[in-house]
Amino acid sequence: MRSRIGVLLLAVSVSAASSAGEWIADTQAIMGTRVHVEVYHDDAALARSAIAAVMADMRRIDASMSPYIEASELSVMNREAATHAVTVSPELFGLLQRSLEFSVVTDGAFDVTFASAGRYYDYRASIAPDAATLEATLPAIDHRHLELIEPNLVRYHHPAVYVDLGGIAKGYAVDRGIAILQAHGIVEGIVEAGGDSRIIGDRHGRPWNVGVKDPRKDGAMAVLLPLANTAVSTSGDYERYFEKDGVRYHHIIDPDTGDSARAVRSVTILGPEATMTDALSTSVFVLGVEKGIELIDEHFPGVDAIVIDGDGRMHYSANLEPLR
Ligand code: ADP
Ligand code: MG
């Protein structure tokens, strides 16, 4: 990270090269979030078709991986995999494999079967599962119930298992978007899907300033990060939540309890690809300050974490310590 920020600070002092190019952007609502793509290119028509291709791919991923779409591949898997092995696309199989890798390295903090209980929360309607529902579904939260049989079969080994890829799919879609831009010859641009972004190049001689929101002050930023050539994901307890009897229920679930994870308020992860930063922001959120930062420092060299704890204090992974 030091290098990533250092290079950036240098880049700011170098004046932007003159060129005939321009920035082209589009924003659409996809996957229940705001998708924003912005690229720099000499050929505006090419830039526009590249952006359109990214948006189309995001819609394709949503159609296949959304748990809210009955006909999605994921929904079919959720309905059938507890009774028989279900054939899935190589893409879904690959993302499930990635998910299980994160489950192993996080010791179960990241677990796509969280939704076995997590599906019974309705944040818009302020509904949390009752004690009986939690008791019945908690045993189904365990990534070891998920069997992936090469090349493309999935089997659930508990009747109440329900998979939701909300902690990793947006990051995956962002990485796909960047690959699509690169295939169009684009070398400067950003793809954002809600709290998950990835930048290639810089802002034509300047850094992208990506803000980490203040978790308790609407519209305010806790810190502004000058970034280039990186993925960045933030998980917060303020995006989707309700309060009941003074307790905040939000969308990041501790797989051990089926309840919202409440050790921290926000986690930002910087790393090479968005699939990873997305999964890790959710993971570190569940693990809390100490275990979360330890996970990053010990297992993910080249990845950085900024954690805002329950008192609003900021904590950094070892690579970022010099910035304090
Ligand atoms: P968002 O960008 O949607 O705010 P986050 O990266 O913060 O997402 O991840 C939150 C989402 O991850 C939840 O909406 C849910 O779909 C999923 N999720 C919640 N808890 C877990 C968990 N323990 N492991 C894996 N995924 C989770
Ligand atoms: Mg995440």
282 lines ligand 1 (CB under 6 A): yes
| Pick among 3.40.50.970, 3.40.50.300, 3.30.360.10, 3.10.520.10: CATH of 7-63+175-323 | 3.10.520.10
Hunting for tokens 């996809």 — which residue is that? 30
Would you call the peptide bond into 215 cis, given omega within 30 degrees of 0 as the criterion?
A: no
For 64-91, b/e burial (b = at least 16 CB within 10 A) is bbbbeeeebbbbebbeebbeeebebeeb
Sign for the CA dihedral angle at 98, 101, 105, 106 comes to: positive
Within 8 A by CB and 6+ apart from 185, the residues are: 41, 46
Give yes or no on whether 7-63+175-323 and 67-156 have one common fold.
Answer: no
Q: Which atom number of ligand 1 is nearest to the Cα of residue 240?
A: 4
Residue ranges of the chain with per-residue pLDDT less than 50: 1-3, 6-16
Per-domain boundaries in the chain? 7-63+175-323, 67-156
286 lines ligand 1 (CB under 6 A): yes
User: Of 68, 251, 269, which is best to mutate to test ligand 1, by the most ligand atoms within 8 angstroms of its C-beta?
Assistant: 251
DSSP-derived 3-state class of residue 229? coil
User: Residue 253 class from Cβ within 10 Å (0-12 exposed, 13-18 middle, 19+ buried)?
Assistant: buried
Q: What spacing in Å lies between the alpha carbon of 18 and ligand 2's midpoint?
A: 37
Other Cβ atoms less than 10 A from the Cβ of 248: the count is 13
For 165-183, b/e burial (b = at least 16 CB within 10 A) is bbbbbbbbbbbbbbebbee
Distances (CA, A) of 38 to 21, 117, 157, 186: 13, 37, 43, 11
Percentage, residues of the chain above pLDDT 70: 93
- Closest-CA residue, ligand 1 atom 27, reads 167
| 3-state percent helix, strand, coil for the chain, nearest multiple of 5 | 40, 25, 35
Residue 5 is predicted with a pLDDT of 53
Tens-digit pLDDT profile for residues 137-194: 999 999 999 999 999 999 999 999 999 999 999 999 999 999 999 999 999 999 999 9
Residue 12 is predicted with a pLDDT of 46
281 lines ligand 1 (CB under 6 A): yes
Task: Please list all protein residues whose beta carbon sits less than 5 angstroms from ligand 2, which is an ion.
Answer: 167, 235, 278, 281-282
User: Of 66, 107, 114, which is best to mutate to test ligand 1, by the most ligand atoms within 8 angstroms of its C-beta?
Assistant: 114
DSSP-derived 3-state class of residue 211? strand
- Closest-CA residue, ligand 1 atom 19, reads 252
Backbone angles phi, psi at 8, to 5 degrees: -65, -45
Instruction: Tell me which CATH code domain 67-156 carries.
Output: 1.10.3980.10
